[in-house]
Amino acid sequence: MATAISVVTRTNQPSSQESWLDESNPAMAALLGLAVDQAQAQGAYVYSLDPPAAAARLVCWAGLPVSDAPLPAQVPQEAASVHFERSAPLVLHENAWSDARFAAFPEFTRHRFEGVASIPLLESGSAIGLLNVCRSRRAGLQASALSFLLSLSVPLSALVAAESAQADLRREIDSLNQRLADRKLLERAKGLIQARFQWSEEQAYLHLRNVSRRRRTPLRDIAAEVINSFAPPARPV
C-alpha cells in the first residue's frame, strides 16, 4: 500500500538540518518521536518487511527525512534480506552508514548516520518490521535508552501488523472492484452481441472467450472493444 504523507510538522529534536515528523500514521509517529527524544537521536525509521516478496518498505519516520518524495521508500532486496531472519537488536556506535547491513537503507545513504540501534519487530517469532534509530555522532547508547527502545517493539510490531493488514484489505477491495467492473463490461458486451446476432447468452460468451484466447488479449479488453464498436458514431459539430 502506497501511503502518502498527509501532514508533516517540525519536531523539537535539535539538529543542524531540518527535522520533520511523518504523521501519515499518527500513533506510530508519536512512538518514533519518543524514540528520537529518549535516544538523543536524529532519526527513527520503521520498515515493513515482506520476506516472500523480498521487500522492505518504509512506513513511518521521525527526525531527518529520507527524501523529499512521499512514502514509501523501498530498500534493495539484497539489503533487506539480511534482516528477515533477525530476532535480536543490533547496536552500532560508529560507521553505521558504511556497514553492509545498513548502507543501502535510504536514511543512511542520505545522512551517513554514525550510530544505529536496529530492533526487529516480531510477530509470532518472525520479523515483520524493523526499527532503525539513528544518531549522527559517534557515541555510546545508554542502557536506559536501549531498554526504552526495546520496550517500543511490541506496540510498533502491532502497528506494523495492522498497517500490513490494512494494505492487504485495500488490495483485496481493489481486486474485487476490478472484477466487478470487468463483469459489467462482459455482461454489456454479451447483451449487444445477443441483440445483434440473435445468439444465446452462452453463444455470446463463448464467442468473446474464443476471441480473447485467439488474440491472447484479456477478456475485459475484448468486451470493451465490442462495446466501442457498437457505439453510435459521433454527430458532427
Three-class secondary structure assignment of 102-153: CCCCHHHHHHCCCEEEEEEEEECCEEEEEEEEEECCCCCCCHHHHHHHHHCH
For residue 112, is it left (φ>0), alpha (ψ between -120 and 50) or beta?
A: left
Pairing between strand 20-22 and 74-75? unpaired
In angstroms, the CA 140 to CA 179 distance is 55
CATH homologous superfamily of 8-168 equals GAF domain (3.30.450.40)
Structure confidence by residue, pLDDT tens digits, 81-93: 889 888 999 999 9
Residue-wise pLDDT for 129-138, tens only, equals 999 999 999 9
Tens digits of per-residue pLDDT, 182-219?
999 999 999 999 999 999 999 999 999 999 999 999 99
Q: Write out the three cell numbers for 112.
A: 551517513
Location of each CATH 3.30.450.40 domain in the chain: 8-168
Average pLDDT estimate for 13-37: 72
Q: Which CATH number fits domain 181-230: 1.20.1250.20, 1.10.260.30, 1.10.10.10, 3.90.600.10?
A: 1.10.10.10
Residue of 169, 206, 32 lying closest to 13 (CA atoms): 32
pTM exceeds 0.85 for this model: no
Span(s) in the chain for CATH 1.10.10.10:
181-230
* Vertex 61 angle, CA 111 and 104, to 5°: 45
